[in-house]
Structure 1
């Protein structure tokens, strides 16, 4: 009887008293799985695995059901029986059934994660288009950074969108061609694992240029397989890709990817576009420390037919793929090295250190006005620079449990220094003779920053206030005698900005999440303008977002976002013409609707609609349009794909007509373009076909209201009208890949 009573007491103690579980989650290759979401279905308590795949959960009772969930892996359930578990999860094509909304999951990240998993990017130009509502355009032979349109902004090449790769900034301050210039062509698309997107400036990590949001591309730590891929298509297009893992252990891995691309494009004057890329990554974990080293090198050269005037096409002087000046073009290169170290401590805290260096060169010849300013030699301009970028940041994170409230505290500091040599804008002739230097000098710019954040999770709520301080030193040494009053000495100026942010979300269950955000973002202006007192150093932008994400059924995900922004007066340096254009304060409101539908496992439907109303605040009605600001866009598509066998996908992009100047007297025509891809996957081989512009529509990829004069037009005359770069016509490209 005593023995029975003792056993009964022991059973009650084990089953009735809460327990603490420690576990490890790994994949089929015994590699740790990071950021696996673990939830107790009884209590809704949750945890995440760290970079070693380790998690810890309290408040368990024998018989509790634990769910392990992460996009790209099969969902797994276990019954809690003892205090240590080892879980193995299998990779799996993403399934909407898997999506579990939680306070930690960024609602923007859900959509981009789904799209990348279902439709991996196939070119570096596609990377940014995975962001709902974002549109890009190329107008310099494929070698220059794409022009970006998002949230009612003509972002040019990156002025109001922060772009990072593995945490390393891509945007260039005080760039020869334009402030915030962000060239992503050094990224090999097959190495991209995730696209972490944040709309608006609401996170403590978002600094310079994050006015409308941040895109952070995260590269793969491991390759699923080695790969050789050959692509070939019209317009003498050829691409070779080689990816190889040369170290593959549980706690250590390394790979290299090499890409070579050539194309003449659809233009009558061949682009002779060439690009070479190499990306590599190494990581190692030992004890509670993880090291990650990355290296990449990129070089590119091209010719370009430039933007052509509509009147020259209308009168038959040239075709849509002809040129007024086909001597445009350029070359660029970038080398990146970075080192990241993460240290995990036993008190639920961790420290991250990240250091990086970039070596960059840029040379570009353009002609936007033809013979307007120089009727004899033409208006060709030359922009160039050489740049070294140094950066470092450290972040401390601590997780604390206060009763039923989980608190995650972050604090960090960092800096970035840009040393730009021979930054110039010159008038040239035939790429060989400098007629006049308009701007010429060295830029030195350093951004120091620090931040503090506390994310509180209690019941079904998450509240995250944060504060960020940026202090920027602007320096410019002018080499032109006409502009110099200090004996060619470096001129310096500094400015600071304090950015408060607040995010609140409510997640009553794993199928619905609503949110409200408010915060301040900014972008700096060009050092050359700030030093000469022609610009506000750091214009601010005040933003707010409110919306929800809702899994109405296991197969349907909906998202709705309402947002508004007030931007202070901005002075934008226009590198194309070497002038300053002051833009007044602007007000924008918009709505974004997203849906993802998966009627069966292999079939996926996506649809995004975006509307924006953008106006300059202080201009009279009818004169207050924001040039080239898209006000209505649609993206949508259907894809069918299994792990093996036949796959196909069709997607379309639609953009409405939009004003090209402030009074809407010149209109940038809208377009609808449809793309198709299909193929077949075997265990080791893949054959595929991609068709761009399936219906061969005439569309303008980029267009501007520009004043110009042609050689045969009267002296002293000019015409302001649409100048455009034509979009790709019907284009077929084939792919063959071998996995080993």
Structure 2
């Protein structure tokens, strides 16, 4: 493709119109924003593992949780080990990403991941799937505009500016599920006002009802389009819930509790997220200027008990602890792309500036009994600021060869005031990240990619300044500890291809490797730094997207990965990275011809994982099938039925292996701790348009 001057970010979500003459005779491509087809990515993508998802692909997709929107990313698994108000657990490319570390997520330009809080904690419970218009995903550290937490991948989600119709959606389901959503986008002045109000409640299948109470709201006013326009948005989300966390398998096997039972009925949490944001974009034949600003107020109180009675029960306080976070987040992103034909067959050059400040008034870890505090492990005031500059050049050297070269420079400052004086401090850090992508083709609608990129993830600010073990529950209390490396280097490689030879079918294949200098992580549930070792992950991914007719969408993907520590010592029994996903597969189909009936079916396979470094203990794999069937009663009224875990498989949502102590046990016992997948459940929804 010649004359390729439109920036790759926009091209990934837009169809290309005929070439038109630009200023000074430069050939430019007019951009028409419509629902993108998957085969648009041939001639546009910079890696085999990137892609975009549209609202049409989500329309008939049955979802148990809002964050399962991310399972449209091939090879990504979303699970849960706690209540529906807590951030989900994510798996991708040989990672147990915990609650988001190494996978960067944003909504309308606002970051979701929280640093110095379960490092990278990405709570997407406030996401409203019906409003999602586009989701662009990229894997590996190859893009200059993606920084912290983006080594395994990233997803940029955007809500629609205009809905097809205003509507109210009322849902009821098994286990006390209920939800109401009101949404619309009426014209206002010369723009549109997008509004949404959501309320949801759920008890779940648990012996102790979850009592989820969620309230979520959005107002977004926009004018123009994404490429030439602006928007401002206000969002508010609150939730509270009771949790059934993972429990030891021996407690279930012995009959102490049922499969859906719990050992501490006071676990749970409450959270809120309020935000104001704005975006703007201006594009013409010479270039593209875009930016966004945001401010957020966030809080979380989370009560958990993973080890139960190591501190004694009856008598004794038990092992419950509380994690608390109060913060405000401020930031902006600004980028300018210049188009030109002075070099080769066309070139784009981009400069970008990004900044973020997390002003954390209190982040703490407390020992509790039945949610009542009786001790402070650590309590800190933290100011964590970052500034990033990046540059990227895309040059079309030949009709069948282009290159993308980038550089990103990040600067961080960690300022911690701890209740343990020795753990206070101010630390600065910086890191540079070069990027290179080479694209060959297309030949016969097939492209080939070679990618190399350096990236990083930040560590918890409290671990960066830590000098002393603050955990009075630990035998090493008060002893010196090693501080975390502030910014941990990652390096990724990828070879891939993407083909759209057959009409309506696009398939991609990627071979990848990701090296991490050190998997140092601050353990928020222990208040100490837990250094691990350098690691290497390798894998292969295959994904296909097929539209045999305008009414049918079929997608399939398979991901295989291998994760190993590259250096270990006698403290661990082997090189396996615990929890690292090894096999993931999915197959889905949806049908909607505009007639009365529509629907979708999805199969998801989540393979076994090593739970200990010598691979002697493994989790079992799981296969789940979800179904949706919808019937249009009239032009504005639709009835839908979701059947989740349709085969009622008794499998685990997540497994861990560690030591815990039950009441009556003389000492801690190492065991698999499991959180079961929810049993078969039904959800019935009525949507009324107006």
CA apart distance, 1:403: 6.2
Task: Decide whether the 8 Å contact of 2:302 with 2:322 is kept in 1.
Answer: yes
Is structure 2 residue 195 aligned with structure 1 residue 256?
yes
Task: Decide whether the 8 Å contact of 1:535 with 1:570 is kept in 2.
Answer: no
Q: Give a deviation string over 1:247-283, Cα, whole Å, max 9, x none.
A: 256x511110111000000001000011111122111
Out of 409, 413, 424, the position equivalent to 2:364 is 424
Q: Give a deviation string over 1:380-423, Cα, whole Å, max 9, x none.
A: 00110100001022211110012652111110222100011121
Q: Distance in 2 between matches of 1:67 and 1:644?
A: 33
Task: Decide whether the 8 Å contact of 1:201 with 1:212 is kept in 2.
Answer: yes
Q: Which residue of 2 aligns with 1:441?
A: 380
Out of 136, 144, 147, the position equivalent to 1:207 is 147
Out of 220, 231, 251, the position equivalent to 2:160 is 220
Q: Distance in 1 between matches of 2:488 and 2:356?
A: 19
Q: Which residue of 2 aligns with 1:355?
A: 293
Q: Give a deviation string over 1:75-112, Cα, whole Å, max 9, x none.
A: xxxxxxxxxxxxxxxxxxx6x7x746223576545463
3-state SS, counterpart of residue 528 of structure 1: helix
Q: How many pairs are equivalent?
A: 656
Q: Which moved more, 1:321-330 or 1:649-658?
A: 649-658
Is structure 2 residue 325 aligned with structure 1 residue 385?
yes
Q: Which residue of 2 aligns with 1:685?
A: 637
Alignment of 1:206-605 (within 5 A): 206-248=146-188, 251-285=190-224, 290-344=229-283, 348-375=286-313, 376-402=316-342, 404-432=344-372, 434-458=373-397, 459-479=399-419, 483-485=420-422, 491-509=425-443, 511-532=445-466, 534-605=483-554
3-state SS, counterpart of residue 640 of structure 1: strand
Can you give the 5+ residue segments of structure 2 that lack an aligned partner in the other structure?
4-11, 467-481
Q: Which residue of 2 aligns with 1:3?
A: none
CA apart distance, 1:639: 2.1
Out of 651, 654, 659, the position equivalent to 2:610 is 659
Q: Give a deviation string over 1:4-29, Cα, whole Å, max 9, x none.
A: xxxxxxxxxxxxxxxx9xxxxxxxxx
Highest relative contact order (Cα 8 Å, sep 6+), 1 or 2? 2
Q: Which residue of 1 aligns with 2:57?
A: 116
Task: Decide whether the 8 Å contact of 2:453 with 2:492 is kept in 1.
Answer: yes
Is structure 2 residue 126 aligned with structure 1 residue 186?
yes
CA apart distance, 1:597: 2.6
Q: Which residue of 2 aligns with 1:611?
A: 560
3-state SS, counterpart of residue 260 of structure 2: coil
Q: Distance in 2 between matches of 1:301 and 1:485?
A: 35
3-state SS, counterpart of residue 301 of structure 2: strand
1:311–1:296 Cα change, 3 Å: same
Out of 656, 663, 672, the position equivalent to 1:711 is 663
Task: Decide whether the 8 Å contact of 1:186 with 1:296 is kept in 2.
Answer: no
Q: Distance in 2 between matches of 1:457 and 1:726?
A: 51
Q: Give a deviation string over 1:478-521, Cα, whole Å, max 9, x none.
A: 12xxx2159xxx62110000000011112325721211110001
Out of 129, 132, 136, the position equivalent to 2:74 is 132
Instruction: Please provide the CA RMSD for this pair.
Output: 2.5
Q: Distance in 2 between matches of 1:671 and 1:223?
A: 36
Q: Distance in 2 between matches of 1:323 and 1:589?
A: 37
Q: Give a deviation string over 1:117-155, Cα, whole Å, max 9, x none.
A: 564575512121111101111122111000111100111
CA apart distance, 1:603: 2.7
Out of 21, 33, 38, the position equivalent to 2:17 is 38
1:118–1:192 Cα change, 3 Å: closer
Q: Distance in 2 between matches of 1:141 and 1:117?
A: 24
Task: Decide whether the 8 Å contact of 2:484 with 2:522 is kept in 1.
Answer: no
Task: Decide whether the 8 Å contact of 1:103 with 1:506 is kept in 2.
Answer: no
3-state SS, counterpart of residue 334 of structure 2: strand
Give the TM-score of the pair, scaled to structure 1.
Answer: 0.84
Q: Which residue of 1 aligns with 2:472?
A: none
3-state SS, counterpart of residue 658 of structure 1: coil
1:449–1:161 Cα change, 3 Å: same
Task: Decide whether the 8 Å contact of 1:310 with 1:723 is kept in 2.
Answer: yes
Give the TM-score of the pair, scaled to structure 2.
Answer: 0.90
Task: Decide whether the 8 Å contact of 2:200 with 2:215 is kept in 1.
Answer: yes
Q: Which residue of 1 aligns with 2:44?
A: 103
Q: Distance in 2 between matches of 1:111 and 1:100?
A: 9
Q: Which moved more, 1:680-689 or 1:620-629?
A: 620-629
Q: Distance in 2 between matches of 1:523 and 1:362?
A: 22
CA apart distance, 1:551: 1.5
Q: Which residue of 1 aligns with 2:99?
A: 157
Task: Decide whether the 8 Å contact of 1:552 with 1:558 is kept in 2.
Answer: no
Q: Distance in 1 between matches of 2:33 and 2:230?
A: 23
1:671–1:121 Cα change, 3 Å: closer
Q: Give a deviation string over 1:626-677, Cα, whole Å, max 9, x none.
A: 1011111111122222223211221111122211111122211111111111
Task: Decide whether the 8 Å contact of 1:100 with 1:511 is kept in 2.
Answer: no
Q: Distance in 2 between matches of 1:115 and 1:685?
A: 18
Q: Distance in 2 between matches of 1:100 and 1:135?
A: 23
1:405–1:119 Cα change, 3 Å: farther
CA apart distance, 1:285: 4.3
3-state SS, counterpart of residue 337 of structure 2: strand
Q: Distance in 2 between matches of 1:125 and 1:230?
A: 20
Q: Distance in 1 between matches of 2:62 and 2:249?
A: 33
3-state SS, counterpart of residue 553 of structure 1: coil
Q: Distance in 2 between matches of 1:205 and 1:542?
A: 16
Task: Decide whether the 8 Å contact of 1:116 with 1:194 is kept in 2.
Answer: no
Q: Distance in 2 between matches of 1:161 and 1:319?
A: 34
Task: Decide whether the 8 Å contact of 1:72 with 1:117 is kept in 2.
Answer: no
Task: Decide whether the 8 Å contact of 1:391 with 1:414 is kept in 2.
Answer: yes
Q: Distance in 2 between matches of 1:445 and 1:148?
A: 25
Q: Distance in 2 between matches of 1:34 and 1:127?
A: 17
Q: Which moved more, 1:357-366 or 1:290-299?
A: 290-299
3-state SS, counterpart of residue 115 of structure 2: coil
Q: Distance in 1 between matches of 2:272 and 2:31?
A: 43
Q: Distance in 2 between matches of 1:240 and 1:294?
A: 21
1:283–1:114 Cα change, 3 Å: closer
3-state SS, counterpart of residue 530 of structure 1: helix
Is structure 2 residue 598 aligned with structure 1 residue 647?
yes
Task: Decide whether the 8 Å contact of 1:103 with 1:462 is kept in 2.
Answer: no
Out of 90, 93, 98, the position equivalent to 1:148 is 90
Task: Decide whether the 8 Å contact of 1:644 with 1:683 is kept in 2.
Answer: no
